[in-house]
């Protein structure tokens, strides 16, 4: 009887905490491929007491890039939802493919059915106001708002619509209302002034402050409030009067942010800060996939980091919570949230480690719990050594993925490669400048912050410090295979070992690329190769010796990547078809691309003799 009363008391405390939890809303997001996966996400969200599910996932708008593959810039926005990617108003029917929007709308209707079944409302996480095709402005010049492209990352100009224009505003609000009638969106998370979106006359637009003369005189704070108000107005007309809208953007200088916040209306926030200056929203996990520095490896454990995020959220008062899962097999994060979202972890590192140990006990036998915790800790320590390599994206996104370091051959004259030997990587690198720039492996979207010997030394030192930690994690994950408490845990440990091994391979690949390019940068391509010294033990060119070492080591590293892929364990989130490969997503033929990379490097080894004198003659 006492046990029963105790259980009821504990249950009441948990329920009371849930009712008085610091979040006004809890939203959950995760990429899903079909209704079955979306239902799986809904089951998890229900278990943790969430109020909202992200429902706005769209098919990549390849039509925007396919209209001119010469310009890579649309890759920054193709995956981002916008209202007109679901519902095309009559005003835009000439410019946005109806079949594309219909597929997204059909998918949204499926999600809406699931939301209704589980009692959720919907979170919209998108990019607004998103640029229109140029023909729309040629036909309707009064719609043209601010130029919004990042000038050195785009070959053409892109313009967002002016939402101060009455006609544009009218069909925006009307479409938002239609969208909210299909799906109950009452939380809007908007990215602006980046990736092909802009508010007119914002101070921090990439091309500089600009916009149409027609709206220049409007007070800026009022403009932002009215922009956010479009979504609240549209939602209210659909029967959702309490909609909240947050915009993530460089809107004003930091020391002027308070004046902007004072102009906002209830339910509006900027960069997750409300009108009162308090935090309006906290994130746990990775709602923005570009903030996961371990990508493009998918779902590598970040348990220590996420536990720390959860502690900060629990201390944040009445802020909303946005949970971002990277993959549905991110079971460790999901277990942490199931256990601790409705009860505080407590303050400080000791409480955090106690929570992490509790989760670990669900995967391995008691005597091995510390080993699993140490594997998670080792991954975080490895990641910390590479955290600084971020500028508009992390090294592994801007380099490994966007410049295809992972599949691109290290050769002396990449411009001489022909046919498929060039197309398979060149088509998928982000480069809006010249072909000479494209040949430089360290031209990361018009920024060469890693170039030169200094960049090479900085990265090398960081990788050398990170590798022992990730290698320790790999060893620990593998050693725990026999200690798994069930088949689910055994599968989890195998996936983490494979993902950690691929993370290690990407570190080594980055180190090879940066050193390789640093040698080419110190090479005069017009100079005839010659010996640097008459001494027999110094004959030839030491740069050739080093280049050959790098080429051999990268071939071996690439073979290791192929072996990891051969396990069949998911280590990357690949495009489902070759046609859906983009600069942002690796294709399903990755293993074949890696094999081609090796073959090309082997076939072009002797090309370096055109640059450096060999010791052989």
**Strands, E, within 104-211: which ranges?**
121-127, 144-147, 159-161, 185-191
Average pLDDT over residues 286-293: 86
Burial of 97 (0-12, 13-18, 19+ CB in 10 A): middle
Cβ contacts of 39-43, under 8 Å, gap ≥ 24: 39/114, 40/328, 41/325, 41/328, 42/114, 42/115, 42/117, 42/118, 42/120
* Other Cβ atoms within 10 Å of 196 Cβ, number: 25
Does residue 367 carry a pLDDT above 70?
yes
Give the rounded percent of residues in the chain with a pLDDT score beyond 90: 82
Name the pLDDT band for 4 (thresholds 50, 70, 90). Answer: very low
| Distance between CA atoms of residues 264 and 245, nearest Å | 11
CA 392 to chain centre: 11
Beta carbons within 8 Å of 427's beta carbon, 6+ residues apart? 69
323 beta partners: 28, 284
For the segment 227-252, what is each residue's pLDDT rounded down to a tens digit?
999 999 999 999 999 999 999 987 76
Whole-number pLDDT of residue 1: 39
Closest CA relative to residue 95, chosen from 130, 137, 59 = 137
Does residue 14 carry a pLDDT above 50?
no
326-332-333-339 Cα dihedral, nearest 10 degrees: 150
Burial of 221 (0-12, 13-18, 19+ CB in 10 A): middle
Average pLDDT over residues 72-93: 97
* Other Cβ atoms within 10 Å of 158 Cβ, number: 26
| Cis peptide bond upstream of 121, omega within 30 | no
CB 81 within 8 A of CB 125: yes
pTM of the complete model: 0.92
| Distance between CA atoms of residues 586 and 584, nearest Å | 7
For the segment 554-591, what is each residue's pLDDT rounded down to a tens digit?
999 999 999 999 999 999 999 999 999 999 999 999 99
Helix, strand, coil fractions of the chain, as percent rounded to 5: 50, 10, 40
User: At CA 554, angle to CA 553 and CA 560, rounded to 5?
Assistant: 95
Q: Which tokens belong to 331? A: 């079971």
Name the pLDDT band for 255 (thresholds 50, 70, 90). Answer: low
For the segment 205-224, what is each residue's pLDDT rounded down to a tens digit?
999 999 999 999 999 999 99
Does residue 15 carry a pLDDT above 60?
no
Average pLDDT over residues 531-541: 70
Average pLDDT over residues 11-29: 54
CB 203 within 8 A of CB 253: yes
**Strands, E, within 30-161: which ranges?**
52-54, 121-127, 144-147, 159-161
Q: What's the whole-number average pLDDT of the chain?
A: 92
197 beta partners: 130
Q: What is the C-alpha R_g of the chain?
A: 26
Whole-number pLDDT of residue 533: 66
Strands 244-248 and 281-285: unpaired
CB 269 within 8 A of CB 246: yes
| Distance between CA atoms of residues 163 and 201, nearest Å | 12
Whole-number pLDDT of residue 24: 79
């Amino acid at each position: 009887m006492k046990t029963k009363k105790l259980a009821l008391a504990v249950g009441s405390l948990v329920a009371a905490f849930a009712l008085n939890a610091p979040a006004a809303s809890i939203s959950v997001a995760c990429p899903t491929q079909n209704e079955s996966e979306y239902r799986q996400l809904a089951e998890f969200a229900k278990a943790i007491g969430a109020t909202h599910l992200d429902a706005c996932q769209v098919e990549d708008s390849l039509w925007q890039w396919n209209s001119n593959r010469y310009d890579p810039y649309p890759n920054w926005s193709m995956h981002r939802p916008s209202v007109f990617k679901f519902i095309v108003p009559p005003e835009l029917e000439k410019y946005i493919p109806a079949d594309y929007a219909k597929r997204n709308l059909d998918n949204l209707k499926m999600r809406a059915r699931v939301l209704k079944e589980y009692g959720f409302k919907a979170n919209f996480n998108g990019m607004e106001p998103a640029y229109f095709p140029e023909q729309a402005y040629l036909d309707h010049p009064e719609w043209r708002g601010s130029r919004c492209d990042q000038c050195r990352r785009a070959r053409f100009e892109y313009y967002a619509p002016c939402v101060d224009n009455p006609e544009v505003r009218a069909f925006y609000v009307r479409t938002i209302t239609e969208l909210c009638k299909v799906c109950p969106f009452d939380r809007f998370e908007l990215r602006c002034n980046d990736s092909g979106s802009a508010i007119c006359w914002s101070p921090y637009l990439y091309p500089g402050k600009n916009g149409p003369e027609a709206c220049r005189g409007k007070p800026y704070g009022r403009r932002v409030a009215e922009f956010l108000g479009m979504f609240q107005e549209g939602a209210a007309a659909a029967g959702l009067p309490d909609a909240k809208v947050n915009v993530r953007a460089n809107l004003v200088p930091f020391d002027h942010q308070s004046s902007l916040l004072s102009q906002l209306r209830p339910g509006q926030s900027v960069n997750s800060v409300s009108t009162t200056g308090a935090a309006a929203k906290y994130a746990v996990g990775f709602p923005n996939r570009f903030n996961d520095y371990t990508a493009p490896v998918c779902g590598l454990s970040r348990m220590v980091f996420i536990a720390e995020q959860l502690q900060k959220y629990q201390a944040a008062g009445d802020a909303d919570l946005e949970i971002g899962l990277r993959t549905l097999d991110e079971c460790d994060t999901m277990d942490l949230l199931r256990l601790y979202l409705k009860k505080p972890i407590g303050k400080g590192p000791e409480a955090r480690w106690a929570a992490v140990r509790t989760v670990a006990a669900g995967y391995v036998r008691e005597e091995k719990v510390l080993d699993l915790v140490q594997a998670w800790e080792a991954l975080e320590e490895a990641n910390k050594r590479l955290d600084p390599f971020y500028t508009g994206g992390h090294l592994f996104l801007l380099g490994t993925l966007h410049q295809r370091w992972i599949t691109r051959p290290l050769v002396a004259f990449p411009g001489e490669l022909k046919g498929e030997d060039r197309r398979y990587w060149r088509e998928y690198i982000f480069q809006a400048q010249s072909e000479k720039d494209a040949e430089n492996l360290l031209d990361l979207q018009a920024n060469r912050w890693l170039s030169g010997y200094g960049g090479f030394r900085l990265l090398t030192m960081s990788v050398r410090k990170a590798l022992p930690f990730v290698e320790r994690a790999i060893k620990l994950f593998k050693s725990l295979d026999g200690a798994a408490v069930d088949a689910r845990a055994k599968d989890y440990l195998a996936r983490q070992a494979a993902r950690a091994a691929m993370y290690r391979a990407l570190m080594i690949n980055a180190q090879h690329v940066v050193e390789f390019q640093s040698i080419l940068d110190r090479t005069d391509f017009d100079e005839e190769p010659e010996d640097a010294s008459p001494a027999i033990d110094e004959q030839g060119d030491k740069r050739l010796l080093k280049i050959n070492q790098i080429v051999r080591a990268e071939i071996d590293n690439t073979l290791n990547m192929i072996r990891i892929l051969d396990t069949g364990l998911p280590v990357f989130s690949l495009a489902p078809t070759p046609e859906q490969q983009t600069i942002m997503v690796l294709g399903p033929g990755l293993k074949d691309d890696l094999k081609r990379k090796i073959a090309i490097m082997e076939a072009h080894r002797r090309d370096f003799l055109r640059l450096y004198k060999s010791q052989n003659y």
